[in-house]
Amino acid sequence: MSLIMQEERLILVDEQDNKVGIGSKMQVHQQGALHRAFSVFIFDSQGRLMLQQRASGKYHSGGLWTNACCGHPRPDESNLEAATRRLDEEMGFTCTLQEVDQILYRVDVSNGLIENEYNHTFIGLFNRIPALNPDEAEGWKWMTVSDIFDAINHSPLQFTAWFKVILAHFGQQAIEQWAEYFR
């Protein structure tokens, strides 16, 4: 485990997203404590969704496909600031992001860790090639929303647990409406 991982602090929240404390990233995920998070969904002008393949060396869910980026705001930054920062750190670009909704979920991920998150969902538009940080992402691709739902139905183990939960929660029609926002 990296020193950065040990030192990163997450915002603990209640079920209404009120801050109730601060915890270390690894301890929060080991205990399954409810914490604030975000997920970024990036579309191109053709309505396709950008998928990221997590780096195999990540502390959980390595090698799996997921949305463009996810993460946790630091105690001193807003959700939007954190989402913009992580998009740049993971995928090597920034764009205008807009929060569209929130979701509360608890899922087991690999290595005995638990994602128990009050998750703020952001969308954005990007039409170029990302510059991946190899420590974060080992691949990327554009897919239509319907193709993503089909792929998850046929090969669910290739996708992160939280990505599947978020897609199932909002549903294919809502995700396609997010894509239409940029057409």
Q: Distance (Å, rounded) from C-alpha 45 to C-alpha 127?
A: 7
Binding annotation: 29, 35, 72, 90, 115, 117
Q: Are 164 and 154 in contact (CB under 8 A)?
A: no
Binding annotation for Mn(2+): 29, 35, 72, 115, 117
Burial class (CB in 10 A: 0-12, 13-18, 19+), 14: exposed
Binding annotation for Mg(2+): 90
DSSP 119-132: EEEEEEE--S----
Q: Distance (Å, rounded) from C-alpha 162 to C-alpha 21?
A: 23
Catalytic positions: 70, 117
The encoded tokens of residue 121 equal 């969902």
Tokens 């205008």 sit on residue: 96
The encoded tokens of residue 117 equal 């998150």
Burial class (CB in 10 A: 0-12, 13-18, 19+), 183: exposed
User: Which residues lie closer than 8 Å to 48 by C-beta, 6 or more apart?
Assistant: 142, 143, 144, 179
